[in-house]
């Protein structure tokens, strides 16, 4: 199933594990270019976040009483009852909009980043309650090395599966990092109007969430949480991209300053492909179409 079909089914309610914030159309914010209508912007709660506002240290999941949270549970990696918890997650999918907004604003003091959480078949069980997380990793130190290796690994994987060698040379060539411009001092985070789960992850920056929990979303592409966090850190620095949502195999970012020119957008589209080939191979179909999408203030990723 391609990403456009996936999004259509999601908006029709047929894919319940999909993310709850629909990616907008690059031109008008509607989400139509991605195959779905998306939630109208005026129906979603918006919270502005200063990109420089970070806690001094990651938060403590053993000290949550002061946060006045609903029913929830701590999540331990890989089903290990002896492991230290890596997140706290609400028991149910519900209307957590006000809670989410409050926790976003409190992040510099709590060190707990609130993640809009979804899962398989509309439930939070997978990955959150079934231990389908690998546990803490360190973000990789070299983002260019990660992206270059991803391009090589994707080419090898496709060869192993008998996929014909792509005619587009860019799919197998590293062209360098996209230049960032002047990054805005704050970013708008948009909360879904529909019910959702909420996870709290101890971290000093949202980009480190995949590494902090050992997220397995891109495991079919052999991309670890530490490698993904290295990329998110780089996008955070160059474009003000902030992680807002995680599901079983989906991730969403709010973006303060998308690339402002075609050259940067083209290079960034290649970076997206290195991290998530399915966004183009099973979605946009070609890089020209996808380049327009990276100009959006919300980026969406789905791994088959």
| Residue 197: partners with Cβ closer than 8 Å, 6 or more residues away | 89, 90, 92, 93, 94, 96, 116, 117, 118, 119, 124, 128
For residue range 127-158, list pLDDT tens digits in order.
999 989 999 999 999 999 999 998 887 767 66
DSSP label of 191: E
Tokens read off for 260: 């402002």
pLDDT band at residue 226 using 50, 70 and 90 as cut-offs: very high
Which pLDDT does position 213 carry in this prediction?
98
N residues, the chain: 304
Owning domain of residue 116: 3-302
Q: How many CB atoms lie within 10 A of CB 48?
A: 12
Instruction: Report the C-alpha gap between 13 and 258 in whole angstroms.
Output: 30
Cα 43 to chain center, whole Å?
21
For residue range 60-117, list pLDDT tens digits in order.
999 999 999 999 999 999 878 889 999 999 999 999 999 999 999 999 999 999 999 9
Q: How many CB atoms lie within 10 A of CB 123?
A: 16
- In total, how many domains does the chain have? 1
- Answer for the pair 107, 208: CB distance below 8 angstroms, yes or no: no
Cross-sheet strand order for the sheet of 112-117: 72-75, 87-90, 197-202, 112-117, 241-246, 250-255, 298-302
pTM: 0.83
pLDDT band at residue 285 using 50, 70 and 90 as cut-offs: confident
Instruction: Please choose, from the candidates 120, 100, 131, the residue with its C-alpha nearest in 3D space to the C-alpha of residue 19.
Output: 120
- Answer for the pair 188, 254: CB distance below 8 angstroms, yes or no: yes
DSSP label of 26: T
């Amino acid at each position: 199933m391609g990403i456009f079909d996936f999004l259509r089914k999601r908006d029709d309610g047929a894919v319940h594990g999909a993310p709850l914030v629909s990616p907008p159309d690059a031109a008008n914010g509607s989400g139509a270019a991605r195959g779905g209508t998306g939630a109208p912007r005026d129906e979603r709660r918006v919270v502005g976040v200063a990109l420089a506002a970070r806690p001094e240290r990651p938060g403590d999941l053993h000290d949550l009483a002061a946060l006045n949270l609903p029913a929830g549970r701590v999540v331990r990696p890989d089903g290990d009852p002896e492991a230290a918890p890596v997140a706290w997650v609400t028991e149910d999918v519900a209307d957590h909009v006000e809670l989410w907004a409050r926790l976003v604003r409190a992040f510099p003091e709590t060190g707990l980043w609130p993640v809009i959480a979804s899962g398989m078949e509309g439930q939070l069980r997978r990955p959150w309650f079934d231990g389908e997380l690998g546990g803490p990793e360190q973000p990789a130190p070299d983002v260019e090395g990660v992206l270059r290796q991803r391009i090589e690994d994707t080419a090898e994987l496709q060869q192993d599966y008998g996929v014909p060698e792509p005619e587009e040379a860019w799919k197998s060539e590293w062209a360098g990092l996209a230049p960032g411009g002047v990054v805005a001092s704050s970013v708008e985070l948009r909360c879904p109007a529909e019910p959702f789960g909420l996870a709290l992850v101890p971290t000093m920056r949202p980009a480190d969430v995949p590494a902090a929990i050992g997220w397995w979303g891109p495991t079919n592409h052999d991309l670890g949480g530490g490698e993904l966090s290295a990329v998110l850190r780089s996008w955070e620095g160059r474009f003000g991209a902030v992680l807002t949502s995680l599901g079983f195999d989906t991730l969403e970012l709010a973006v303060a300053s998308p690339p402002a020119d075609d050259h940067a957008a083209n290079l960034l589209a290649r970076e997206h492909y290195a991290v998530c080939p399915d966004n183009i191979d099973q979605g946009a179909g070609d890089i020209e179409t996808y380049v327009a999408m990276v100009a959006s203030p919300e980026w969406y990723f789905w791994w088959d």
